[in-house]
């Protein structure tokens, strides 16, 4: 085990660059998947004829696929039909598609958790269905959805490591390059990688726990 060699200044800079790529990919994917997931979940909740069923098929299909398959599809299969994506765009697209489906179910569950009596009272007071959803249902549902949404974001951050399979220069990819130079680097590099993932994800889990306690 060569700790000094594994954790040289150059290696640490290389790891830091990979970690920044991981955080960038995760941030963009989280932002996009939250917007798309909220839209999909709301459409499923609204039970619009045909549209809701189509959304249900899309969401359930994606949720029951392995993320690795979706990553492979966006990077290797789409070019076969004329849509060639860069490794960064392919990674963001795959993570966004997968996480949007997961968040759609969280959103739908949150909306369904609101007491139907409140909806009926709002409608009887003259509010339209859209107004009821916007002003009565959604604000309450969002507060209940925050903890599971944060937990899903933690999963997304960890899932970025799967993008090493398409050579995205993220944290695990750069770590792999370093320890491939010398087997004595493996243990120290893995410790650093595990520590960095733990720090970020544990911080997010504390946020989720605090938000969940506020709901009790």
What CATH number should be reported for the domain holding residue 129? 1.10.3720.10
Dihedral over Cα of 26, 28, 29, 32: its sign: positive
pTM of this structure:
0.87
pLDDT digit string, tens, across residues 62-95: 999 999 999 999 999 999 888 899 999 999 999 9
Residue 141: phi, psi to the nearest 5? -65, -40
Q: What is the pLDDT of residue 45?
A: 86
Higher pLDDT, 130 or 159: 159
With cut-offs at 50, 70 and 90, classify the pLDDT of residue 143.
confident
pLDDT digit string, tens, across residues 113-122: 888 888 788 7
Distance spanning both ends of the chain, measured CA to CA = 48
Radius of gyration of the chain measured on its C-alpha atoms: 21
Number of Cβ within 10 Å of residue 180's Cβ equals 11
Q: What is the pLDDT of residue 216?
A: 53
Q: How many domains does the chain have?
A: 1
Q: What is the pLDDT of residue 13?
A: 93
CA separation for the pair 1, 7 (Å, rounded): 11
CA separation for the pair 170, 155 (Å, rounded): 16
CA separation for the pair 196, 190 (Å, rounded): 10
**Domain that residue 150 falls in:** 3-215
């Amino acid at each position: 085990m060569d700790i000094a060699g594994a954790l040289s200044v150059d290696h640490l800079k290389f790891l830091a660059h990979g970690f920044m790529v991981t955080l960038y990919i995760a941030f963009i994917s989280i932002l996009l998947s939250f917007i798309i997931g909220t839209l999909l979940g709301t459409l499923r909740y609204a039970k619009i004829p045909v549209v809701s069923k189509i959304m249900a098929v899309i969401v359930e299909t994606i949720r029951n696929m392995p993320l690795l398959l979706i990553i492979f599809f966006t990077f290797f299969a789409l070019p076969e039909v004329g849509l060639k994506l860069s490794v960064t765009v392919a990674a963001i697209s795959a993570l966004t598609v997968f996480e949007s489906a997961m968040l759609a179910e969280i959103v739908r569950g949150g909306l369904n958790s609101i007491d139907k009596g409140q909806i009926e009272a709002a409608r009887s007071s003259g509010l339209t269905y859209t107004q009821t959803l916007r002003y009565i249902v959604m604000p309450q549902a969002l507060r209940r959805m925050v903890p599971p949404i944060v937990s899903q974001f933690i999963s997304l951050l960890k899932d970025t490591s799967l993008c090493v399979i398409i050579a995205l220069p993220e944290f695990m990819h750069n770590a792999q390059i370093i320890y491939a130079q010398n087997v004595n680097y493996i243990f120290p590099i893995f410790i650093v990688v595990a520590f960095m993932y733990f720090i970020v994800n544990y911080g997010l889990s504390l946020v989720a726990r605090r938000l969940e306690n506020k709901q009790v």
